[in-house]
Amino acid sequence: MASTATSTRVALVTGAGQGVGRQTAIDLVRRGIAGRVVVNDYVAERAEAVANELRGLGAEAIAAPFDVTDGPAVREAVAKATAEFGGIDILVNNAGNSGTAGHAQDQSLFWESDPAEWTPWIGVNFTGVLNCTHAVVGGMVERGYGRIVTVISEAARVGEPNYVVYSGAKAGAAGFTRAIGSATGRHGVTANCVALGATRTPATAQIDEMDDKTARRILSGYAVKRFGEATDAAAAICFFAGEDAGWITKQTLPVNGGYSNAL
Ligand SMILES: NC(=O)c1ccc[n+]([C@@H]2O[C@H](COP(=O)([O-])OP(=O)(O)OC[C@H]3O[C@@H](n4cnc5c(N)ncnc54)[C@H](O)[C@@H]3O)[C@@H](O)[C@H]2O)c1
C-alpha cells in the first residue's frame, strides 16, 4: 500500500480520533484517496494526535474538534476547513455509539427506559449524520463531485434487543443516506453505508478481555470465526470513498464476517 498522499481530495472523517474513524483517515491517505483530511473528534487531543499521524504519512491534516450533534459548531468547522483546504469531497459519517458520553452499556429494556436515555443515541447516530451531511453536501452538488459514506451497524439491519434505540437511529441514518443518494446522484455525489458487525476498537475493549467460551458463543453467529478489525471496516469505507465507486450509490454493505446476509 502506498504510504504517501497522491490525491488532492479533501476528506472529513467524524469521530476519527480512534477506532474505525482513525483507521479510515489513515487508509484514505495510504490508499491515495484523500490528500487533505479534516480529522474530527469530540475529544480534541485524539483529533490532534491523528492529524499528526496523517502529516507523518505526507498528508495535509487539520484537527477539527466538534460535537457532530451541535449543528452550528459543525457548520463553523466545515467553513473553516473549507477556507483552508477547499470544499469537502469525501464525508465519512463515522462518529457513533452513544456519543460524547462514551460507550454505554446495554440499554435497559425499551419498555422500562426513560425517554431521556434515548437522546444521546439518536443525537450522534442520526442527527449528527444530518448535521455533517447538511454542512458539506451543498458544496459537493455545486462542484459536481462527492462521496458520502455513513457507518451504521448490523444492529440497524438485524435489530439488537439490547440496543433498540441505537438500532433505530442507525436504520434512520441508512434511510437518510439512501434518500440523499437519490437527491444527489445526478450531481455526481454518491451516498452509501457500511454496516459493521462486532469490531475490535476502543469502544469494544471488552472483546479483548473476554474468555474463550464467551468469544466462541458470540462468534457462533459469524461465518468467519474472528471479530472484525478497524482495517476491515476502513477497507470498505475507502472503497465507497474512492473515485472508482461513482456508479454505486444508495447501498449498504455489511462488513460482518458473514453474521447476516445482504441479498
Ligand atoms: N466497534 C463495533 O463493534 C461497531 C459495530 C457496529 C457499528 N459501529 C459503528 O462504527 C463507528 C465507529 O465505532 P468505533 O467502534 O470505532 O467507536 P469508538 O468509540 O472507538 O470511536 C469513536 C470516536 O468518535 C468520537 N465521538 C463520539 N461521539 C462524538 C460526537 N458526538 N462528535 C464527535 N466525535 C464523537 C469518540 O470521541 C471516539 O474517539 C460508530 O458509528 C459505531 O456505531 C461499531
The catalytic residue among 42, 166, 222, 259 is 166
Distance 127 CA to ligand 1 centre (A): 14
* Residue 191 cell numbers, joined: 451516498
Question: Which residue has its alpha carbon closest to ligand 1 atom 23?
Answer: 15
Which class for 64: exposed (0-12), middle (13-18), buried (19 or more C-beta within 10 A)?
buried
Question: Cα 181 vs. chain centroid, distance in angstroms?
Answer: 16
Task: Calculate the alpha carbon distances from 181 to 17, 106, 127, 174, 249 in Å.
Answer: 27, 32, 17, 10, 6
Protein residue closest via CA to atom 32 of ligand 1? 67
Ligand 1 centre to CA of 15 (Å) is 6
Confidence class of residue 1 from pLDDT cuts 50, 70 and 90? very low
DSSP 169-231: HHHHHHHHHHHHHHHHGGGTEEEEEEEE-SEESGGGTHHHH--HHHHHHHHTT-SSSS-EEHH
Partners of 217 in the β-ladder: none
Q: Give the pLDDT of residue 215.
A: 94
Q: Cα–Cα distances in Å, from 143 out to 61, 78, 147, 178?
A: 22, 16, 12, 21
**106 CA distance to ligand 1 middle (Å):** 15
* Confidence at residue 102, expressed as pLDDT on a 0 to 100 scale: 65
Mutate which of 20, 167, 200, 260 for ligand 1 pocket (most atoms within 8 A of beta carbon):
20
Q: What is the mean pLDDT of residues 32-48?
A: 98
> pLDDT digits over 64-84, tens only?
999 999 999 999 999 999 999
Average pLDDT for the chain: 94
How confident is the model over 229-258, as a mean pLDDT?
98
- Superfamily for domain range 10-199+229-254: NAD(P)-binding Rossmann-like Domain (3.40.50.720)
Q: From residue 98, how far is each of 20, 92, 110, 170, 236 by CA, in Å?
A: 15, 18, 16, 11, 23
Pocket, ligand 1, Cβ cutoff 6 A:
14-15, 17-21, 40-43, 46, 67-69, 94-97, 99-100, 103, 124, 128, 151, 153, 196, 198-199, 201-204
Under DSSP, the state recorded for 13 is E
> pLDDT of 203-231, one tens digit each?
998 899 999 999 999 999 999 999 999 99
pLDDT, residue 3, reads: 44
Catalytic site includes residue 166: yes
> How far is ligand 1, taken at its centre, from the CA of residue 124, in Å?
9
Tell me the helices (H) and strands (E) count for the chain, helix number first: 10, 9
CA 253 from centroid of its chain's CA atoms: 13
Nearest alpha-carbon partner for 128 in 160, 97, 156, 167: 97
